[in-house]
Structure 1
């Protein structure tokens, strides 16, 4: 069963959920995991793609948009919509809805920041996972 973790940025936290996604993707990749970053739209995917190039000056995260990258050679992929390719290791969800393919992943990270709409959508996703019987872990940052 998928391990579901909610990462909640508090009011005093620096940055937003996109920066947190970069940190989590970097850490997971450094530990040998493949990562799929799921967004709401092409614009958000491209924003995240740019952030991954610049989030740390002293590191490089091999990444790309799922629609434009060789999935077999790219360990960190970014996309949106109903498909996540053949990925099944770590899913980082930045979309407002529950991804339809989340249950095939070993781990799911839900990222919540200070935005009221993001918090409300996160609560809805939390209830959905809880009602389906998933064990939920919460990390207040």
Structure 2
């Protein structure tokens, strides 16, 4: 059963969401945990790919876009991962990942954007209705 946490941002905007996702997968990678960054669109996945190179000076997080077909400690994509080599899911998508039960840990990043916040409430309720107890972590 995965551990599920909703990270609530007080900063609005795409930069805060992407930077938070980058910091989380960087921390996970340094702890030896492989991650999958799930985006809504190919454009968002490409933005995450770029952001992982630039979000922090002198930072290096080995990553690849899922479509590249090559493995990396951090994968970025828009569809389900077909293997169990990435136990952490960082979900930036609006929908509930259909394969969410296969992950050991799920992080949902929520910013104050009205539509994204409402979509996160729906996901929270679905998790809860399926017997999970999602946690919430407020970030500043």
Is 1:6 aligned to residue 3 of structure 2?
Answer: no
Other-structure match for 1:36 = 36
Q: CA RMSD in A?
A: 1.5
Give me the whole-angstrom Cα distance separating, in 2, the residues matched to 1:11 and 1:99: 24
What number of residue pairs does the alignment pair up?
137
* Structure showing the higher helix proportion among its residues: 2
TM-score by length of 1: 0.92
Task: Verify the 8 A CA contact 1:88 1:104 in the aligned structure 2.
Answer: no
Give me the whole-angstrom Cα distance separating, in 2, the residues matched to 1:67 and 1:85: 12
Give me the whole-angstrom Cα distance separating, in 2, the residues matched to 1:62 and 1:69: 15
**Cα deviations across residues 58-108 of structure 1 (Å, max 9, x unaligned)?**
21000010111412xx10000002x21314410000000000011100000
Give me the whole-angstrom Cα distance separating, in 2, the residues matched to 1:11 and 1:44: 18
**Cα deviations across residues 11-42 of structure 1 (Å, max 9, x unaligned)?**
589x5211100010000101000000001111
Q: Where does the alignment leave 5 or more consecutive residues of structure 2 unmatched?
A: none
TM-score by length of 2: 0.93
Moved over 4 A (4+): none
Other-structure match for 2:64 = 64
Other-structure match for 1:108 = 106
For residue 67 of structure 2, give the secondary structure of its aligned residue in structure 1.
coil
TM-aligned CA distance change 1:62 to 1:136, over 3 Å: same
Task: Verify the 8 A CA contact 1:64 1:76 in the aligned structure 2.
Answer: yes
Is 1:136 aligned to residue 134 of structure 2?
Answer: yes
